[in-house]
Structure 1
Amino acid sequence: MRAIHVDEPMLEFRYGQRMVYPRDGLFLFGPGDGGRAPINFGVIGTPAGVARFRKWMGSVGNLIEAANGDPQHVPFPGYGAAFASAWPDQPPYVIDIIDPAAVSRALRLENRNEAIKTTVDLYVDPLVAAANRLEAPPNFWFVIIPEEIYKLGRPQSSVPKADRVRGSVKLSKSAARGLMLQPTFFPEDLEAAKIYQYATHFRRQLKARLLKDRIVTQIVRETTLAPNDFLNKIGKPIRRLEDPATIAWKILTGAYYKDGGRPWQLADVRPGVCYVGLAYKRQDNNSDDRFACCAAQMFLSSGEGVVFRGALGPWFHSESRQFHLSEDAARNLVEMVVGEYRLMHDGQAPTELFIHAKSSFADPEWKGFEAAAPGTNVIGVQISDAKDRMKLYRPGRYPVIRGTALILHERRAFLWTSGFAPRLDTYLGPETPNPIEVRIHRGECDLKTVLSDVMGLTKINFNSCLHNDRLPVTIRFADAVGDVILAAPQTGEPKLPFKYYI
């Protein structure tokens, strides 16, 4: 057992300039792709929500000072200065016909599946209509939601009994599950049961239902845009939010990415490397609890990501509490990945293919993975949360430095992806940082190379402009991707860019 330090990965910005902190690079140099044409987006919401968005738009076109002098706080220079792309005075496309009364009534329908689907209908229908009507639709839509959607639009949300509204769904969830085991001769029952194919989570269902029509969204709460419009009894905002500059960095970095831009990319990445994260999600409404969906998330050093929807099957194994594909399913999934990689690299296959998963890799699925990528060095890396399994301390005020690794074996280590960050001159976490466990489960590769790659993959989350995440992007969004795939019936293209899911 020995301790080493993995260097903080560098990011590359405009003019080939390198920094470790995304906000520094964007503030000083601009995005890695050199900037784009004026941003092209739409906004949808209630009249009040769209009005709040318009007001917020005016503030982010110019400099927003940092909250204080702490190193992690960087002024937001204005969208145009940060991203070398023009920011409009008004939204290019507007849908402000969402009726707040209709939203409020839909959210209070007694049956929760009906409530969320009806609420999502209010947004999906006009978005799809606009996509079909416009010759040149926007690249993405800001979806501005009232606070009550956030409060009542999640699985654990509960509407007070006195406020519930009777809807049209009479079939219970248990009866709908029973129809899967014993078919009925009554087509109206089968039709009524379809409501339970839709998740009781507004965000996931909205994303899932827009996949078929290839509509990208950025969901923002009204309280984020105008916190002082929503006060509690003592006159304080009902939410404790970050400072305006930080909010602008986070929302608009995601917006630039969803508009088609590349804010930054990893520097010094080996040519021919491809990273794949496996995402699994069990299907709640299936009579067989082994059934789960599988997806592969492909990421390149540029941060480009593509999600491939795999087959639904009995991938969950209760004895090990892990997910494993069949040989055929594994081969088919990675064949899609390699095929897409070839399209993006003039027909060249990757030289190294790293497959990241929370589970280990069984013999049949590994045989399928290798068969799908002949001539490529395929490495299977198991990444798991090692919370409370190991604590490491050092003298002084701050915890261990981010990048500290404890080598347990030539193929296994604990890696502290969170910890003291020298650029920030602090540790931003609330408790002693916990490591993740990184294990080379299949294939051959130097462990330090794998650890360095994992550190780099904690820095390409374009949905938020942070110094780093705790988990690599291949694992960080695995559950979120699975949640979206199963949030509504899927019949569209099995391969879509990552930005559709986040």
Structure 2
Amino acid sequence: MDIKLLEEPFLQFSSGQHVCPRAGIYNYTVSDINNVRPDKIVVGFVGSSDSIGTLISWIKQCRSHIDAKKSNQPNLFTNFPGFNSKIAFKSEIAYDESYVRKINHSTFEQVKKSSDDINDLITKSVEIYLTEIKFLSKNKNPDVILCVLDEQFTKMIYGTSTVEVENSLLDEDETLEVEFNFRRLLKARAMEYNIPIQIVRDRIVKPSSEMQDQATIAWNFFTALYYKASGTPWALKKTTNNNTCFAGISFYKSRDKSTTQTSVTQIFNEHGNGVILRGTPVKESKKDKQPHLSEQQAFDLIYNSLTEYYEAVKIFPQRLVIHKSSNYSEEEIEGFQRVAREMKINSIDLVTIMPTNFRLYREKDYPPFRGTMISLDKQRHFLYTRGFVEYYGTYPGRYIPSPIEVRLFSYDESPEQICREILMLTKMNWNNTQFDRKFPITIDCSRNVGEILKYVESDQKPQIKYSFYM
């Protein structure tokens, strides 16, 4: 067994590099500052009058500096510089009254009274918001639409519930349990209007003690908003001259869990640009009880994804890294390698990333450092993506951290480089500016996308940008 510590990866910003997204934006501005970018983000608002008014007041306050939470670890909590045209993001929010679509309290009350159960309430609530989203998309075309939720109403509709429904394919006495989730249903239904939405709970204006501090909330909110408006807050620091792209493959079941699982792939380059593509239904293997693609399905999924990727960024990668949360079958390996041969991709790495019960312990009470890599052999490794972070001066977690297991089924790059890239990709989540995520964006994204796609109708074409799913 070999143990080594990988250095904390740097991110690329406009005029410099830094390990921390917040410090990098603060000191060096966003990475796309010299490109066509969202220096003015036009937003639309949908929600009750009170909630929208509260959020607008908060957005105005966020134009100015917000002090960081007092802490013995100052790097863990960073003050927010303000979202304005002078510093950091160098962007500003724009709107007028015609971009504000207010939903009357009486409308919400009527929906609550007329709903038979929580699932009916969720469906009708989504329709209320969709009506206003449709209006904004057809008449105003903002960059992002903010769907503001009143906290009291949120507690009624948020979360996931199930309802039993009859299925004509089953016996008369048999039913199916169908999942209902407001957030997933709204994001899926809103895709047809071609504008990313941001669901905002109005409680962020006055966060409780269980929530993040005000500066952190502002960092996360405006970073996500900037990305959804087609901005690039930060990029990966290039470590090789190769044009590399990273693909994440996952599977999801239908809302009633009765159908075969469907594959989905996401492809990113170092700037976070890329595409999302829904594949075809697959069958579960009798050997390992996991879903697997046939050779042709594996070929088609990546071939079609790379074709869409080329249409988006106008270049094919020289190297392809595929991350999967389950093991590879021989058919999948052959299908993916055939794509690489046909598309003249120089190298391909097939990597499985999964949770594990393996633990490593340091002396005293400190957990292992983030970046600790344990190699059992050339194909099997463990990587601590969460742990003691030197930049933060602490382990910013509540529970004992565990590593992820990294299995290499086929690889051209070194195991150390592959693990270093996984560590880098944990920092590419634009929903959270604390950089020590457990899983890389390839795996995180694939899970998020699958949860939304199960609500997209089979005859509806999903959006290819990740901004519609986050």
TM-score by length of 2: 0.90
Tell whether the 8 Å contact from 2:248 to 2:446 is kept in structure 1 after alignment: yes
SS state at 2:374 partner: strand
Distance in 2 (CA, whole Å) between partners of 1:204 and 1:494 is: 13
Shift in Å, 1:465? 1.4
Instruction: Indicate which of 167, 170, 192 corresponds to 1:212.
Output: 192
Cα 1:384–1:205 change in 2 (3 A) is same
Whole-Å Cα distance in 1 between the matches of residues 359 and 354 of structure 2? Answer: 15
| Structure-1 separation of matches of 2:171 and 2:136 | 41
Stretch of structure 1 that moved more, 95-104 or 469-478:
95-104
Counterpart CA distance in 2 for 1:498 and 1:198 is 25
Q: Which amino acid aligns with 1:310?
A: G
Q: Distance in 2 between matches of 1:314 and 1:379?
A: 23
Task: Give the 5 Å matches for 1:226-375.
Answer: 226-227=206-207, 237=208, 240-270=210-240, 271-285=242-256, 287-288=258-259, 291-311=260-280, 313-317=281-285, 319-346=287-314, 348-374=315-341, 375=344
Matched, 1:492 2:456: no
- Using the TM superposition, give the Cα deviation of residue 282 of structure 1 relative to its aligned residue in structure 2, in angstroms: 1.1
Match of 1:73 among 73, 77, 82: 77
Distance 1:302 1:481, change over 3 A: same
Aligned pairs for 1:95-114 within 5 A: 95-106=100-111, 109-114=115-120
What do the CA deviations read for 1:223-259 (whole angstroms, capped 9, x no partner)?
Answer: 11244xxxxxxxxx5x622221111001000011111
Read off the aligned partner of 1:114 and give its amino acid letter: D
- 1:488 CA displacement: 3.7
Residue equivalent to 2:24: 25
SS in 1 for 2:92: coil
CA distance in 2 between partners of 1:431 and 1:287 (Å): 35
**d(CA) in 1 for partners of 2:46, 2:177:** 25
CA distance in structure 2 between the partners assigned to 1:180 and 1:292 by the alignment = 18
Of 431, 445, 451, 1:483 maps to: 451
Residue in 1 that maps onto 2:46: 44
Higher strand proportion (structure 1 or 2): 2
Preserved CA contact (<8 Å) 1:256 1:263:
yes
What's the CA shift for 1:472? 0.3
Q: Secondary structure at the match of 1:203?
A: helix
Shift, 1:416, TM fit:
0.3
Match for residue 136 of structure 2? Answer: 130
Tell me which residue corresponds to 1:452: 420
Name stretches of at least 5 consecutive residues in structure 1 with no aligned partner.
Answer: 159-171, 184-192, 228-236
Distance in 2, Cα, partners of 1:174 & 1:130: 34
Deviations 1:117-155 (A, max 9, x none): 111001012101221233xx1111111112244323245
> What does the per-residue CA deviation read over 1:63-108, in whole Å, with 9 as the maximum and x for residues that have no partner?
11111153211111111222011344x5575333223343355357
Contact 1:42 1:92 in 2 (8 A): no
Which of the residues 364, 387, 391 maps onto 1:419? 387
Report sequence identity in percent. Answer: 27
Distance in 2, matches of 1:274 and 1:60, equals 35
- Would you say 1:13 and 2:13 are equivalent positions? yes
Q: Is the partner of 1:431 in helix, strand or coil?
A: coil
Distance in 2, Cα, partners of 1:59 & 1:75: 14
Output the CA distance in 1 between the equivalents of 2:405 and 2:201: 35
Once the two structures are superposed, the pairs formed by residues 466-477 of structure 1 within 5 Å of their partners are: 466-477=434-445
Amino acid corresponding to residue 180 of structure 1 in structure 2: L
Contact residue 297 and residue 305 of structure 1 kept, 8 A: yes
Cα deviation code 1:18-70 (max 9, x no counterpart)? 00001101111210001642112111111111111111012100011111153
- Structure 1 vs Structure 2 CA RMSD: 2.4
How far does the alpha carbon of each residue in 1:168-216 deviate from its partner, in whole angstroms, 9 at most, with x for none? xxxx8442x2x13589xxxxxxxxx9xx998510000011111222220
Asked if the contact 1:107–1:149 (Cα under 8 Å) also holds between the matched residues in 2, the reply is no
Amino acid aligned to 1:470: K
Say whether the 8 Å CA contact 2:178–2:255 is kept in structure 1: no
* SS of structure 1 residue aligned to 2:308: helix
Q: Counterpart of 1:275 in 2: which secondary structure?
A: strand
CA contact (8 A) 2:224 2:430 kept: yes
Q: Aligned residues, how many?
A: 456
- Counterpart of 1:79, as a letter, is F
The answer (yes or no) to whether the contact 2:224–2:431 under 8 Å persists in 1 is yes
Structure 1 residues 149 and 333, CA gap change in structure 2 (3 angstroms): farther
Q: Distance in 2 between matches of 1:494 and 1:55?
A: 34
Distance (Å, rounded) in 1 between the aligned partners of 2:53 and 2:368:
46
TM, length-normalised to structure 1: 0.85
3-state secondary structure, aligned to 2:180: coil
In the alignment, residue 21 of structure 1 is paired with which amino acid?
C
Q: 3-state DSSP class of the match of 1:212?
A: helix
Distance, in Å, in 1 between the alignment partners of 2:118 and 2:215 is 37
Residues in 2 aligned to 1:483 and 1:145: alpha-carbon distance in whole angstroms:
21
Q: Distance in 2 between matches of 1:333 and 1:459?
A: 26
After superposing the two structures, state which structure 1 stretch, 485-494 or 250-259, moved more.
Answer: 485-494
CA–CA distance in structure 1, aligned partners of residues 456 and 462 of structure 2? 14
Matched to 1:266, the amino acid is L
Counterparts in 2 of 1:91-170, with a 5 A limit? 94-106=99-111, 109-134=115-140, 137-154=141-158, 156=160
Secondary structure of 2:376's counterpart equals strand
Gaps spanning 5+ residues in structure 2: where?
none
Q: Which amino acid aligns with 2:279?
A: G
Question: 1:385 Cα deviation (Å)?
Answer: 0.5
Q: C-alpha offsets along residues 322-350 of structure 1, whole Å, 9 cap, x if unaligned?
A: 1111222222211122113333454x421
Distance 2:135 2:299 in 1: 38
In structure 2, the partner of 1:162 is: none
Q: Distance in 2 between matches of 1:92 and 1:5?
A: 54
User: Which stretch shows the higher mean deviation, 397-406 or 111-120?
Assistant: 111-120
